[in-house]
Every structure is written in structure tokens, then in C-alpha cells.
Structure 1
Amino acid sequence: MTISYNQFNKSTTTSPSSVIDNKSIIDHNRVNTETPDNNQLNTPPTSPITDQLPSLYKKFNIEIQKSNLMPQPSKIKHGKPFTWLEIKQIVNQNALELFARNEKQTEQYHIFKQNLKDSNTSINDHILNCELHWKESDIRFQEFSVPKQYSIKHPQDLIFFNDSDIKILPNKFPYYFENGIMHLCIWSKLIIPNDPHSEVGDISELTKKIIDRYLEKTFIENGVKPEDMVWFKNWTSLQSVRSISHIHVILNKNVDPVFIKKLLETCGTTLTIEDYEKLLGAN
């Protein structure tokens, strides 16, 4: 069973009335002839949808606005929120640039950023001190370089393995999703290594499988259906918080909120040496 970063349950049915009408939101065969607006976000050149962003922003009613509080222009989604079907297809197609907040959410986020700026506090320091209650010295990189990125000989370098490394928190500034959809962030003291072969700071296929297994143990084996869950890790250029590794988990409205509440502030169900032996042995 897998709840992969780039896959969702293929048996899921789709509604004919969906905005994406059971089709790919990305037209891989179309050559884009539109000239991007000067306010367009600085999307990595190897992003799957770089040349289609203007038309996709228009399709999803997303406006680009500049703000002195943000390093890049802000995306504002007008109209209806993202549906669960749209969320799953966006994650499945790695079209993460499409996620956006609505105008009110964006305004609240900007106020939050302004308050941090006024208090001379960075977003990283705020998250460490006020949300995670970790010290800056807790954040660490892997100590050893090994061929597969991970080795059971170095358990301190295994992601989602040490209980004290992980904390599950709600995303205080989620994207504009339908009511009832939950957006969590799972934070790691150990930096989740980027794929050295990725130009945009994505993670390797092995890392995705490791995270899949952790999420399977934490959510799926506790009653969450695979089709009611997706996850992703923003590549580097899309991250608002870069120095503390985290993944995003989005859960459909069918998921029991009482179960999720019990998970908050915990590490979930971390991996074992046996898990890693199977994962590393398969690669």
C-alpha cells in the first residue's frame, strides 16, 4: 500500500462537473505562446508546468500580487476553494505552484509577517521558539555521506526514525481548501536531504518511499484511507521556511478530526530499523 507523493488511488472516481473534468490539469502537448506577466512567480525552469502557469492561473482564478512582506509575489485564489479532487490531481502532477490562499487568508498571512518584521523576528525563529519549541542547535544535517543517502549504520541520519526529531502541527496558514479538509505540517529536526540530481531541490525517489512508509504507519494503519490523504514536500524555491525541513499532509474531510487532534504535537509512528532494512534492501 502506498500513499505516494506523486500518486493517488487510481480507483478514485471523478465527477463530470469538476473543473478538471477527469482530465489532466496539465496539457503536456501544448506549446505555450503566452508571455508571462512581470508579476509571475519565479518558478523553477524544470517545473512540470512552467510554460502553462499563466493559463492555469487563469483557469483556477488565481491572481498574482506583489507585497513588500514576501520575497516573491503572492498568489490569491478567487472564487471557489480547491476541491479534494483538484488537490489530489495537483499533487499527483507535481503542479505545486498552483496552491494558493484566498484574499482573506493572504491578508492574515501578511499581517502575521508584518508583526514578525516589527518585532525583528524571522519566520524560522518564530516557528522554532513559538510553535515547535525547539532550539536552533537541534536542527542538523546528516553526518555521513553514503551511497544511498541513508544507512542503518548511522541511525542518527535516518529521517522519520528518531521520535525526538519529529513533530506534527496544523498549518496555521493553509491554502484555500474546501471546508473540512485538514492541512498538517510534519517538521523534522534532521534536514531531509535533497536529491543531488534535482535542479530545483526536490527529494529522491528513495526519500519519497521512506516518507510514504512513515505516513502509512502514522495514518493508514490507524484507519485513514489512502484515497483520503496526499502529501508533498515543496522544492526549495517554493519554500517559505527553508532551514527547518517539513512535509505537507492534506487530509480529506472524511478523516476523523478526533484522531488527528490526538496526533498533534506528537511524532506519529516513526520508522524502525526493520522498516529501513526493507526500504534500503529494495533499492
Structure 2
Amino acid sequence: MSSDQEALPYWQVNVSPEQRSLECPAFLADANEKDQKILATPDADYRRLSWSEVQRLINTNRIDLFQRVPSDLRRYKAYTARLKDEYGSVMNFVMTERLRWQDLVSKGEPFSDSDDIKILLNDWPYGIDSRIVHLVVWVKFQFEEDAITGDLTDAARKQLNSYVDRTFRAHVGSGNCIWFKNWASLKSIHAVEHFHVMLFDPDREFVKQITNDDVALADKIKINDV
């Protein structure tokens, strides 16, 4: 890292000189210490996590260590700030534009009705090996959680794991699929239940089929849009 880069405040890193602002943009003003550190890192110095590192973080329940590529984090925060202005909340946008659900009333027991489930690409994936496909499974039902720990109960974990087995692992192999459910404190959207599935180097036609040919927002929007 050059001395010039080291001297820049976090909101000016990964921004061309002509686009740098003297004051911190409003959408970055509430960035916590972790995000500020990420934003202050030049993209060139960022190292993406390998598949084995991703598996280790999930298996040891250190999902708090996932982070986005610095410039992607900046775009994410800029875009979500705009969504809050336009839709009132990110949840309203997700419900209206991404899920296109009118309500969150489930038609039966968990995973019993396909209308209660929607699989989409993660709009703003983490800084991981580009061969890893990060999916989000949105559902209209709630998972049973331990009242003390807030973690999934053994029964709920078994139920969820069974769904992942037949929906994903049956197609990509057990070694190429892993899932996790965010802690409540890490969720960006609380009102709509969801969990994450990561696939290592899956067949792209399978991904298109399972997501109904979805395209992540990060790939749809242009830099100038945020």
C-alpha cells in the first residue's frame, strides 16, 4: 500500500481522485469499525476467501468474519441507502421487487409447499472465490429456535439440512455445498426468514434453473447507479 493510500480517509479509498469528497458521504457516515477497516482497504490488497476457508468459517460458526470486497461494500451501502429512501426500507424492496410476495402467509409446514420458498442469488455476495455461487433461500415460514441461545433447535437444523440435501447436494455433491443461517445480529433483513447456501463451482445451468435465471443486483447495476 502506498503512503498516499494510507493517508486517505476510508471513504476516499477505491474512489478515483476526481470523485473523492472532502466530507464522508451520508451513506457511509454510520459505518461501524469493521466496515471502516474494510472500506479503507484498496481492492488490490484484498484477498478473496478460498472454498476451504469458507467451509471453516461456517463450520466454526464464525460467519461474522465474512466480508465484502471493499468497493463492493461501498456500492452495497450506497445502494441500500437509496432503497431506504425510495421504498422506506430494504425489506419493502425485497418483498416488492425481488420476492414479489404479497404476504408472508405460509401454505403449510416448512418446506411442504414450493410457493413458500424462493431461491435467489445473493445480491451482494461476500469476497470469496469467484467460483463459489452464493444463494439465499427465502421462506414464508419461521424456523424453531432455542429461546436461550437463539440458534436453531436440533429438529429445525435437521429439517433444514434435509431440504439442502435433496435440493442442492443431490445435484452438486455433499463436498461442494454448505449452508448457514445468520445470527439475528448479522441479519440485514429481519422480517423475512432466510438462510444462505454456498455451492462450489456448480453447473451454471443448474443455478439458472434453481433460481429461475436470477441475476444478482450487484451484476445488474452500474457503478454510476450508486
TM range (shorter): 0.7 to 0.9
Q: Pick from 231, 248, 262: which aligns with 2:196?
A: 248
* Aligned-partner Cα distance in 1 for 2:143–2:212: 19
Specify whether residues 120 and 164 from structure 1 end up closer, same or farther in structure 2 by C-alpha distance, changes over 3 A only.
closer
Deviation at 1:246, TM superposition (A): 0.4
* Aligned-partner Cα distance in 1 for 2:188–2:29: 14
- Counterpart of 1:195 in structure 2 is 146
- Counterpart of 1:219 in structure 2 is 168
Instruction: Say if 2:178 is the partner of 1:230.
Output: yes
Check whether the contact 2:179–2:197 (CA below 8 A) recurs between aligned residues.
yes
Specify whether residues 202 and 128 from structure 1 end up closer, same or farther in structure 2 by C-alpha distance, changes over 3 A only.
same
Specify whether residues 170 and 120 from structure 1 end up closer, same or farther in structure 2 by C-alpha distance, changes over 3 A only.
closer
* Aligned-partner Cα distance in 2 for 1:236–1:85: 25
- Counterpart of 1:258 in structure 2 is 205
TM-score (norm 2): 0.73
Aligned length: 181
Instruction: Say if 2:117 is the partner of 1:163.
Output: no
Q: Pick from 103, 112, 136: which aligns with 2:79?
A: 112
- Counterpart of 2:69 in structure 1 is 102
- Counterpart of 2:12 in structure 1 is none
Gaps of 5+ in 2: 1-26, 214-226
* Aligned-partner Cα distance in 2 for 1:226–1:190: 25
* Aligned-partner Cα distance in 2 for 1:119–1:240: 17
Instruction: Say if 2:156 is the partner of 1:207.
Output: yes
Amino acid at match of 1:246: H
Other structure's SS at 1:172 match: coil
Residues 111-143 of structure 1: CA deviation (Å, up to 9, x unaligned): 2112113325201100000000002xx2248xx
Deviation at 1:159, TM superposition (A): 1.5
Other structure's SS at 2:197 match: strand
- Counterpart of 2:48 in structure 1 is 81
Gaps of 5+ in 1: 1-65, 142-154, 267-283
* Aligned-partner Cα distance in 2 for 1:193–1:228: 27
Other structure's SS at 1:186 match: strand
- Counterpart of 1:279 in structure 2 is none
Amino acid at match of 2:78: I
* Aligned-partner Cα distance in 2 for 1:258–1:69: 40
Amino acid at match of 2:172: V
- Structure holding more helix per residue: 2
Q: Pick from 62, 67, 73: which aligns with 2:28?
A: 67
> Could you say which structure has the greater relative contact order, defined with CA pairs below 8 angstroms and 6 or more residues apart?
1
* Aligned-partner Cα distance in 1 for 2:130–2:175: 18
Identity across the alignment (%): 30
Check whether the contact 1:123–1:241 (CA below 8 A) recurs between aligned residues.
yes
* Aligned-partner Cα distance in 1 for 2:138–2:89: 17
Instruction: Say if 2:149 is the partner of 1:182.
Output: no
TM-score (norm 1): 0.59
* Aligned-partner Cα distance in 2 for 1:194–1:119: 33
Supply the RMSD in Å over aligned alpha carbons.
Answer: 2.3
* Aligned-partner Cα distance in 2 for 1:209–1:72: 36
Amino acid at match of 2:177: M
Specify whether residues 248 and 257 from structure 1 end up closer, same or farther in structure 2 by C-alpha distance, changes over 3 A only.
same
* Aligned-partner Cα distance in 1 for 2:190–2:146: 15
